[in-house]
């Protein structure tokens, strides 16, 4: 009975929407490894997604039925409402995998429709939250999680492009619709990233404020790059539009690439600074991200940690597909080396998640992650 109560309390009542970022991360790493020629790894990751995605959907549905007031309260809190966009992206990512591995266009279309409706619902609550906050300047409100607006919007476009290609639809209006989502994501990125740059580099920004969702500064640019590359490869022969999309895609990929050294440096700084009272163990200095899976005092996993893995996997896939679209072969080399690093971080984060789930089930009360 205690175990059942722990599962209900910790697994359902406090189910964190950021767990869908695990679906996002696993899916895009899977797609990336399929593209670079490691189908065994890709299909293994796909199998993991097929196991966890319905489980997470079931937990979210159960939370809505049993703890509706608490779920509604999350939608009325800006940071939590933004995190529900991971469901949109995760659903679209599963749809992409279904097309890649099984050409299951019908099921992918159902998932795309579900994600689209969910996107509109999340945008409604997020807009309401933004208007409700009047006592802070906008640059203090935005953070890495805010960029999920960009990622979710672009993910609708990304799966939409694949669906149009799979169904053989070449009508201009259809490409204009999915292209509109891509363009919206592009513009949103420039707006939000400008405010983030101001906050992070021109205002006081402490290392304690740093967390995994800031990796979406690169990940949002990467998914725009991937969707733009898919447009270039799959859209009908509209040469003028293709050239414009190409220039915009290369530009946004370059911006995303510029973020990587800073993101790595901040991650290393955050992980090696365990606390002021203890010295940093050698194993953390050798691989700072090992804290995601190992240690007792130094264990550092939380559900938003998946927000680090998704951008890493997305950069792998986007760089590879941009190389194909632009005919730049050496980009494939970058993708392969970076891809193995992304897979390592995925593994450490996955181990940390399993450890956290086991720990949560055993405890009578849960730890909240905001």
| Global pTM value | 0.93
At 31 the pLDDT is 96
Higher pLDDT, 279 or 157: 157
313, 344 Cβ separation under 8 angstroms: no
Pair of tokens at residue 297: 């005092």
- Helix/strand/coil (H/E/C) assignment for every residue in 319-353: HHHHHHHHCCCHHHHHHHHHHHHHHHHHHHHHHHH
Q: pLDDT averaged over the chain?
A: 90
The contacts of residue 330 (CB under 8 Å, 6+ apart) are 323
Q: Can you give the residue ranges of every domain in the chain?
A: 2-362
Q: Which residues have C-beta within 8 Å of that of residue 255, sequence separation ≥ 6?
A: 193, 221
Distance CA(224)–CA(157), nearest Å, equals 9
Is the backbone of residue 169 left (phi > 0), alpha (psi -120 to 50) or beta? beta
pLDDT by residue (tens digit) across 76-93?
999 899 999 999 999 999
Structure-model confidence comparison of residues 9 and 109, the more confident one: 109
323 C-beta neighbours (distance < 10 Å), count: 18
pLDDT of residue 237: 72
CATH superfamily, domain 2-362, is: Voltage-dependent anion channel (1.50.10.150)
Residues 6 or more apart whose Cβ sits within 8 Å of residue 21: 86, 89, 90, 303, 304, 306, 307, 309, 310
Task: Return the sign of the alpha-carbon dihedral for residues 253, 85, 192, 240.
Answer: positive
């Amino acid at each position: 009975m205690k175990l059942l109560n722990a599962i209900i309390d910790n697994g359902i009542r406090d189910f964190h929407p950021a767990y869908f970022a695990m679906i996002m991360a696993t899916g895009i790493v899977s797609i990336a490894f399929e593209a670079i020629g490691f189908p065994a790894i890709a299909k293994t990751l796909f199998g993991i997604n097929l196991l966890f995605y319905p489980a997470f959907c079931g937990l979210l549905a159960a939370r809505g039925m049993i703890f509706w007031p608490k779920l509604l309260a999350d939608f009325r809190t800006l940071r939590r409402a933004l995190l529900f966009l991971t469901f949109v992206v995760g659903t679209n990512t599963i749809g992409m995998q279904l097309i890649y591995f099984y050409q299951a266009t019908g099921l992918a279309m159902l998932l795309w429709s579900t994600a689209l409706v969910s996107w509109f619902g999340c945008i409604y609550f997020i807009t309401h939250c933004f208007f409700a906050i009047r006592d802070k300047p906008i640059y203090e409100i935005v953070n890495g999680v805010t960029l999920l607006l960009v990622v979710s919007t672009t993910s609708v476009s990304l799966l939409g492009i694949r669906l149009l290609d799979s169904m053989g639809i070449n009508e201009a209006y259809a490409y204009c619709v999915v292209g509109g989502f891509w363009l919206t994501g592009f513009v949103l990125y420039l707006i939000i990233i400008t405010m983030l740059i101001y906050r992070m580099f021109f205002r006081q920004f402490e290392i304690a404020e740093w967390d995994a969702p800031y990796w979406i500064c690169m990940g949002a640019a990467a998914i725009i790059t991937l969707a733009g590359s898919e447009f270039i490869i799959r859209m009908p022969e509209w040469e003028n539009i293709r050239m414009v999309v190409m220039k915009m895609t290369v530009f946004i990929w370059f911006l995303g690439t510029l973020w990587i050294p800073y993101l790595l440096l901040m991650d290393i700084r955050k992980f090696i600074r365990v606390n002021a009272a203890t010295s940093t163990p050698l194993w953390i200095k050798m691989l700072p991200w090992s804290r995601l899976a190992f240690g007792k005092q130094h264990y550092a996993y939380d559900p938003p940690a998946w927000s680090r893995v998704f951008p890493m996997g997305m950069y792998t896939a986007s760089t590879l597909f941009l190389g194909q679209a632009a005919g730049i072969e050496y980009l494939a080399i970058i993708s392969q080396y970076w891809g193995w690093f992304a897979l390592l971080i995925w593994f450490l984060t996955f181990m940390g998640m399993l450890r956290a789930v086991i720990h949560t089930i055993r405890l009578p009360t849960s730890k909240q992650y905001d």
